[in-house]
């Protein structure tokens, strides 16, 4: 059977890293994209530590999703090496610090737009042909914070990203690729810790369990 190939954007930490690990252990080849080289190397170490005979492989791609040229080159390389993709999971996000709307930091606002909205809009046309060739699925993870106090930059830019994904899903419902929007359970991530310092993390879902649950919905 031909090995399946997945692209995970935002794979160095959190749910993106957990999903990349699960896919690799299930025999997929995972192209793992993130800015943090150390996080990608940790992912690689975790996969190798399992020593499963049927495990897939990882291609580590330390790059920024806002770099159009780098992402275009990566997509071309995926086409040349594997022909297409069976899965794209887009978890790359800029989570701006909580702030009143009247006190938004301009740099964080610009970075939120660049990472959460613009990069998504640039990546969809790059990845869509790969998914069509591979009869693949795109997955976006929702975090409905829009309109909540102090979540202005993150909530607005994340909502715009999901709105774009919903439009893509509606447009491709009959012709492909398949586009799914899933909502993870609350997770003990570094991002959540910044949003909710001092929160009791014991009730939060484990990253590996949630990665498994989400992947079972594909």
Could you say which residues of the chain have pLDDT below 70?
1
For the chain, domain boundaries: 5-212
Count Cβ atoms below 10 Å from residue 182 Cβ, excluding itself. 15
Distance separating alpha carbons of residues 106 and 87, to the nearest angstrom: 34
Whose CA is closest to 93, among 157, 24, 151?
157
- Name the fold adopted by 5-212: Rossmann fold (3.40.50)
Q: Which residues contact 122 (CB under 8 A, 6 or more apart)?
A: 68, 71
Task: Give the tens place of pLDDT for each residue, 161-192.
Answer: 999 999 999 999 999 999 999 999 999 999 99
- What is the C-alpha radius of gyration for the chain, rounded to an integer number of angstroms? 17
Token pair, residue 192, equals: 């959540």
Q: So what's the pLDDT on residue 180?
A: 98
Q: In the prediction, which pLDDT does 51 show? A: 81
CA atoms within 13 A on the CB side of 161: 32
Structure tokens at 152: 């202005």
Which residues are within 8 A (CB) of 176 and not within 5 positions of it... i.e. 6 or more apart?
131, 132, 135
pLDDT at 139: 98
What is residue 53's predicted lDDT score, i.e. its pLDDT? 78
């Amino acid at each position: 059977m031909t090995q399946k190939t997945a692209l995970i954007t935002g794979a160095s930490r959190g749910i993106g890293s957990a999903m990349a690990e699960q896919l690799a252990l299930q025999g997929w080849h995972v192209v793992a994209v993130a800015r943090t080289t150390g996080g990608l190397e940790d992912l690689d170490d975790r996969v190798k530590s399992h020593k499963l005979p049927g495990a897939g492989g990882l291609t580590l791609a330390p790059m920024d999703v806002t770099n159009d040229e780098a992402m275009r080159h990566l997509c071309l390389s995926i086409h040349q090496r594997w022909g297409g993709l069976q899965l794209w999971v887009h978890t790359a996000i800029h989570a701006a610090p909580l702030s009143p709307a009247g006190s938004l930091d301009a740099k964080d606002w610009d970075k939120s737009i660049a990472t959460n909205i613009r990069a998504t809009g640039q990546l969809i046309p790059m990845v869509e042909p790969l998914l069509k060739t591979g009869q693949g699925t795109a997955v976006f993870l929702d975090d409905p914070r829009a309109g909540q106090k102090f979540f202005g930059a993150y909530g607005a830019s994340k909502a715009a990203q999901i709105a774009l994904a919903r439009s893509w899903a509606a447009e491709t419902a009959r012709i492909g690729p398949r586009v799914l929007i899933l909502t993870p359970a609350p997770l003990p991530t570094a991002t959540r810790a910044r949003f909710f310092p001092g929160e009791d993390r014991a009730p939060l879902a484990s990253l590996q369990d949630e990665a498994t649950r989400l992947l079972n919905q594909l």
